Amino acid sequence: MSTPELGASPPSPIGRAPGLVGRLTAPRDGMSPERTATLGDGRHPATQDTPTEQVTAPDGGPGAVTRRGAMALGGLAAVCAMTAADSGDEPAFAAADVAPLPAALLPPAPHVVLTALDVPPGADAVRSLAELARLAREPGGGARAAIALGSSWFDKAGLAASRPLGLTPMPSFVGEVLDAALVHGDLLLQVSAVTAELARQVSGSLLRAVPGAGVRWEKRGFRAGSRLSEGRALARNLFGFVEGHGNPSFRSSPDAAEVACVAAGSGEPRWAVGGSYQVIRIVRFATRLWDLEPVPVQERVMGRRRDGTWLDGTRPTGRPVFDADPEGRITPLDAHTRRANPGTPGVAAPRMLRRGYSYHDGPEDQGMLFMAFQGDLELGFAGVQRRLAGQSLDRYMLTVGGGYYFLPDLSHGTPVEFTV
């Protein structure tokens, strides 16, 4: 019986973090080989003690970076989490500020490059992923990289039986016009960094080093005014509104992990427990039309003031009592925030961790790269999106792309293995 290693790698200067190890073992029935993928070695940067060292960013920018360790989430996700320590106005997100989440779910860096990839079928699908996972462990000072899987990767790799139950191609919802060139992908590479140039450099280097993987679509995003407030990552979008107040706090409780991650006993494959369904939405904004509206009109469309305060005066992280406004005189019934979470009997609050990046590819192509992490798509993004049909905000935006992906996790400290 042979056990070939895929993605074997030299020792890491950051810390030991193996790539994907794929094994073909002798079949029990003599008919076909058993394919096994083993993810990780039981070590995780969020739980292990890791020495701190100072390194210099490759682009010559702010170079004081705290290395908190590295890990490879097998072939399914590779994350190298590094924290900006002295990067001007951008905050340093300390380990104490976050609940125990996968590294890709930590408070976001100011810049990101999202790249959806298509890979060859068969063993090449595993090899491409293994090589990308190996390389993504060390993207460079001030950057982190994560890899998530699309539904199609499991088919190409011959691992369809191990696919997470809710992982499907992203459907088109009411009012959307999805561009075939901007949706789906076998893999999603997400590189976030303290500068746009560093994110671009790291992403490009990773892609050039993985032969056979083709770029399906790519988008670059930024977070204007990115900061951390009360354990919540905030930023101002291109419509001029601060967003992020509605997320669970990273600092005060494990609530973020509870909504963002797959729970034990959910019926999902055992290896998927602790991982997250990741939704990406490319949302184009009609900024010229939006800017013609008076600010009070914009605020009634959103259901919040520009700074996040609710229209009835409730503080941004509080919860307005919509029952006291049944006719929508204060907060319109078709306002974005009220449709998303109406607070009516039988409608549960959305269970997801949201993250938004702005993008600007020209005067007619600018908007938001919306991300959502959840343990259940129906209780998170999908349920909310159906409620938003007919909201007043639809006049000013159009979803044109994105996809559904799955990001596994090793924060529990044990290797993940699935077998077909």
54-80 pLDDT per residue, tens: 222 233 332 222 222 222 232 223 322
Phi, psi of 77 (to 5 degrees): -160, 135
Residue 31 class from Cβ within 10 Å (0-12 exposed, 13-18 middle, 19+ buried)? exposed
pLDDT value at residue 140: 57
How confident is the model over 292-302, as a mean pLDDT?
98
pLDDT value at residue 252: 54
Band of residue 345 on the pLDDT scale cut at 50, 70, 90: confident
Place of tokens 């499991």: 154
pLDDT at 353 over 50: yes
Q: Which residue has the higher pLDDT, 43 or 354?
A: 354
pLDDT at 196 over 90: yes
pLDDT tens figures, 110-158: 999 999 999 999 888 888 877 787 777 665 578 888 889 999 999 999 9
pLDDT value at residue 28: 31
pLDDT value at residue 97: 36
Band of residue 271 on the pLDDT scale cut at 50, 70, 90: confident
pLDDT value at residue 112: 97
Q: Determine the Cα–Cα distance for residues 416 and 8; give it in Å rounded to an integer.
A: 17
How confident is the model over 315-341, as a mean pLDDT?
95
Q: Which residue has the higher pLDDT, 217 or 55?
A: 217
pLDDT at 277 over 90: yes
pLDDT value at residue 229: 87
- DSSP for 303-363 reads TB-TTS-BTTS--TTS---GGG-TT-SSS-TT-HHHHH----TT-PPP--EEEEEEEESST
Q: Determine the Cα–Cα distance for residues 149 and 139; give it in Å rounded to an integer.
A: 19
pLDDT tens figures, 386-412: 999 999 999 999 999 999 999 987 455
pLDDT value at residue 125: 85
Of 33-42, 85-94, 195-204, 249-258, the least confident: 85-94
Percent of the chain with pLDDT over 90: 53
pLDDT value at residue 181: 97
How confident is the model over 281-305, as a mean pLDDT?
98
Q: Which uninterrupted H or E stretch holds 242? A: strand 242-243
How confident is the model over 360-374, as a mean pLDDT?
95
- For residue 182, CA distances in Å to 156, 264, 283, 382, 401 come to 20, 33, 11, 19, 5
pLDDT value at residue 142: 82
pLDDT at 212 over 50: yes
pLDDT value at residue 317: 92
How confident is the model over 360-380, as a mean pLDDT?
95
Residue 420 class from Cβ within 10 Å (0-12 exposed, 13-18 middle, 19+ buried)? middle
pLDDT value at residue 383: 95
Alpha helices by DSSP H, listed for 95-195, are 123-135, 151-156
pLDDT at 294 over 70: yes
pLDDT value at residue 203: 93
- For residue 44, CA distances in Å to 58, 166, 344 come to 25, 26, 40
Instruction: Provide the 8-state DSSP code for 258.
Output: H
pLDDT mean across residues, the chain: 76
pLDDT at 308 over 60: yes
pLDDT value at residue 92: 33
Band of residue 343 on the pLDDT scale cut at 50, 70, 90: confident
How confident is the model over 337-345, as a mean pLDDT?
92
pTM: 0.79
How many CB atoms are located within 10 Å of the residue 172 CB?
A: 11
pLDDT value at residue 24: 23
